[in-house]
Structure formats: structure tokens, C-alpha cells
Amino acid sequence: MTRESESGRPIEPVYGPDALDGWDPDERLGRPGEFPFTRGVYPSMYTGRRWTMRQYAGFGTAKESNERYHRLVEAGTGGLSVAFDLPTQMGYDSDDPVASGEVGKVGVAIDSLDDMRTLFDGIPLADVSTSMTINAPAALLLLLYQLVGEEQGVDPAQLTGTIQNDVLKEYIARGTYIYPPKASLRLISDIFGYCFTEIPRWNTISISGYHMAEAGATPVQEVAFTLANAKEYVRAALAAGLGVDDVGPRLSFFFVARTTLLEEVAKFRAARRVWARVMRDEFGAKDPRSLMLRFHTQTAGVQLTAQQPEVNMVRVTVQALAAVLGGTQSLHTNSYDEAIALPTEKAARLALRTQQVLAEETDLTATVDPFAGSFAIESMTDDVEAGVLELMQVVEDLGGAVAAIEQGFQKREIEKTAYDVAQGIESGERVIVGVNRHQRPDDEIYEPMRVDPTIEAQQVERLRVLREERDDAAVQTHLAALRKAAEGTDNVLYPMHDALRARATVGEVCNTLRDVWGVYTPADAF
């Protein structure tokens, strides 16, 4: 019986040469590091340099998170990845009534330069690469990072890392948006321009399919909607006066890795091939770096279960294998206890060790692209590519990613898929070990890590002291300059940098922009 992939494509029991009839290997594959990059973006891939092992961490106060970062670096983490709490992600200070009950809960609370300084205390920013999962207020967190680097004596041109900065997917799947789409694109364009001049080695955006996948998107939907969003960002950069080869090399992507290993490998290969052709044929990019789809991967949190959490160790290992075999540039492996609460330190260390075993005890890094030429993988790659191109064309026909978002198209499509998956689990057609098959009625009670409930009061007190100590007249002067830039066409990051250096808070800066640009209300909110 033929089984279907996660994207609804048939998976044949046996693949042979007929699956690739009329298939031109030069056109479909090329060599590693060469167009169309199906086999990887670099000629040597892991034989020359392993993927960056990132661990996503951040909780409670900046001091607590800083302590966790030091332990991760000591354990061998090659790059830090910062999780922020919901108030920070939404551009609110910890003492705002809206923030009540959420301070420090799903990430670290960052209200000002003081907090960012504490977060990276003793971490040499010239030597570490940092990824920050932040979107609507991405500009602020990047500038705070730059300011801390400057205090350490680091030239901004030395700073390396990534801000997620992908607001379009927030309207589709995640919801931590602030401003309307057009204002958000203006802000993203300003970030592109600022970094091109001031922080040239920084990856200015990580265009994310991960969160759409976590909301229920299939692999085809994940890639298609991500690349459609990427096209919108490139168009915004061009409209702002940047060249395609100015912005192209600094684009990066962020995908999920599921337990369906074969389709995931095919998905990554197809994504590279589609993006290379989009950049070359649609945008006329000449720089080979503009054609490379470089991506970070995180294992699929949505596939982890609270039941029998130790089974998640197996799931994460399979997912990590899919990412590595698919050619990821960096990887975060989830901790086995994340379906219950924030990961314990022991679980986070084991997640890192999983990557280290794959890199150092297996032969995965001995050869470039070990699946190349596989009848099954190449056929599945073609299937994913065909589905992605078809769905991207639907988005184009609706007027592009922003117009499709305003019509609710991507959100509806993902919600339909999520409903089908939930129905499959409920009926038992889709097997989840420990949930609807192989249950264990005597499951032990797992003691999760808990966030200190006094954190909110601590942050509120820090803000009170900050506002007493700082030069408020200087803050208001810089916020007024920011307002003027937002009302006009000047790049808002320059006055924003000055305001944050004067110790304006994240909420004060975001509120200034809210006053000018307004806030987004989705069409289906009423």
C-alpha cells in the first residue's frame, strides 16, 4: 500500500531508475557548493567545517540567563541563541500592565541596555556568534547588542550573529506582531540598510518556516510560504534602494526538522534549489552568495510529548539526523522535557551532547551529501519542489505574501492542515508513541523546572531605579528624533540607537513607533 508523506505526496514502496527517467543530474543536482545548490551551499560542507551547534536559552532574569550561557559555552556550544519573554517580544516593558504574569516566563526579560549588559556579562562578543529570536522589536535588541559590544571595545564590523526579524510569519502563524505589515516592512528595510553600513557581518533576517510548521504547516507549505515571504523582503529592500546583491548574501532561513526523516532531507534539498532559481531568474542576482539558501534548523517542538518524555530523546535524535543529512548550517536540538516546561539544565546539556555524538562519533561528517543520487530522495525532492512552486504561484496570484496575509490565505491553509493532523491523532490513524499507542498508565510524575515568581517584581524595581538615575530630558529628545524619522523617510535605527544608549526602554521606543505607525489588528479578530 502506498503511504503519503506529510505533504500529502505518495511515498512508493520501491524506487528505481524509472523514478528519475529523463532526469538531468547536472540541472537537478550540480556539485556541492555550485548552482542550484541541491547538494549543499558549500563545496566541502561538514568535511571542512561542522554545523554550528546552537542552544536556544533564556529564562527569568538576564543574570540567570547569563549564568546558563556561561555553562553552555563551557559545555562546547559554538553559538548562543537567545529566547526572550513575551513582553519583550511584543515591545512592552516589564512594568506595563499588559506584561503582568508573563515576565521571564518563556524567555529572558530585556527592558533596557542595563539588562542586555547583564545578559552578556563576561561573554566576549567579538568571539561568539549570537542568534536572537526576536521579530517586531528586532531592531531594538540588535542595537542593544551592538551597544554592549561597543562597551566591550568591539568594532560593530566584528559582530556576527542573526536576528530573526521575520515579522510576516508572525501574521501567519505566531502572533507576536506590533505594527501593520507595511510599517513592519519599512522597519525591516531600515535594518537591512543600517547593517549593510554599520554591522556588515550580521545576518539581518532569519526567514522562518519553523513557526508555521509548529502551527501545523506541511513541509511543502513550510517552504512555499517561507520563500514567498523572502521574496517580499527582497522586494522591500530593492524598493528602499538596496541592490539584490547588497542584501542577498545576508539573508538566512530557519526551518524545522521532523521525525519523517526522508521527506525532511528532500525538503531541505528542494528549498535550496528553488531559492537559487528565484534569486537568479526573478531578481537577477549575480553574487553566488545571494543564491545560497543558508539555514538554521530546530528540531520539532510540536512533536515532543509530555507523556513518557524520555521517548523525546529518540525523536530529537532522528530529527537532528534529518537536519544534518539535509545540510543545515546550524542546529538547535530541543530538550526532552520541553513539552512540560522550560528545559532543565541537565536536559539542555543532553540535547547538546546529542549533536556532539552525531558530529564526533558517526561518519556523517566524512562525506559531502551522502544521499545524493538516491532514487527515493531525488524523487521526493522533485515532488516537494513541484508542490512548493505550485503553492508559491498561488501566493503570487493573490498579489504576493503581504496581500495574501491580508486576505488570511496562509493562516487558513495552515489551520486546515493542523485540524487534519489533530483528527488523525484522535482517530489513531496517525501514531504518536506514548500518546495513542504504547501508552503507560503508570507514567511517573515529572518535576519540571519552574521560574521564580518574584522575577516580575525584580524587573519592575530595576525599571524604577533606571528611570530615576537616567537623564530623562536626553531620553525624550532622542525619542522625539525617532518619532520624526518614523514620520518621514529617514532610517529609524540611528535615532533608535541614540535613544537606547541614553537608556530609553524597549517599551518606550516601541510605543513611540506605535504612536506613528499604529498597531495591526487581523481581519478575523472580530
pLDDT for position 526: 39
Q: How far, in Å, CA of 487 to CA of 191, rounded?
A: 17
pTM of the model: 0.90
Residue 57, pLDDT score: 62
- Eight-state DSSP code of residue 490: S
CA 48 to chain centre: 25
Grid coordinates 524523487 are at which residue?
379
Segment holding 347, helix H or strand E: helix 345-360
Looking at residue 248, the DSSP 8-state letter turns out to be: G
pLDDT the model gives residue 266: 98
According to the model, what pLDDT value does residue 1 have? 56
Q: What is the CATH number of domain 37-427?
A: 3.20.20.240
How many angstroms separate the CA atoms of 273 and 276, rounded?
A: 5
Per-residue pLDDT of the chain (526 residues; tens, 9 = 90+): 578 899 988 999 999 988 888 888 888 899 999 999 999 999 999 999 999 898 766 667 899 889 888 887 887 776 788 989 999 999 999 999 999 999 998 899 999 999 999 999 999 899 888 989 999 999 999 999 999 999 999 999 999 999 999 999 999 998 999 999 999 999 999 999 999 999 999 999 999 999 999 999 999 999 999 999 999 999 999 998 999 999 999 899 999 999 999 999 999 999 999 999 999 999 999 999 999 999 999 999 999 999 999 999 999 999 999 999 999 999 999 999 989 887 888 998 999 999 999 999 999 999 999 999 999 999 999 999 999 999 999 999 999 999 999 999 999 999 999 999 999 989 998 999 988 989 887 666 566 666 677 889 999 999 999 999 999 999 999 999 999 999 999 999 999 999 999 999 999 999 999 999 999 988 764 3
Closest C-alpha to 90, from 469, 501, 513: 513
Rounded to the nearest 5°, which phi and psi values hold at 309? -60, -25
The grid coordinates of residue 2 equal 502506498
CATH 3.20.20.240 domain extents, the chain: 37-427
Give 39-91 as a DSSP string. T-SSSSGGGTSPPEEEEEE--BSHHHHHHHHHHHHHHT-SEEEEEB-HHHHTT
CA angle 99–449–311, rounded 5-degree value: 120
Q: What is the DSSP string of 132-164?
A: EE--TTHHHHHHHHHHHHHHTT--GGG-EEEE-
What's the pLDDT at 415? 95
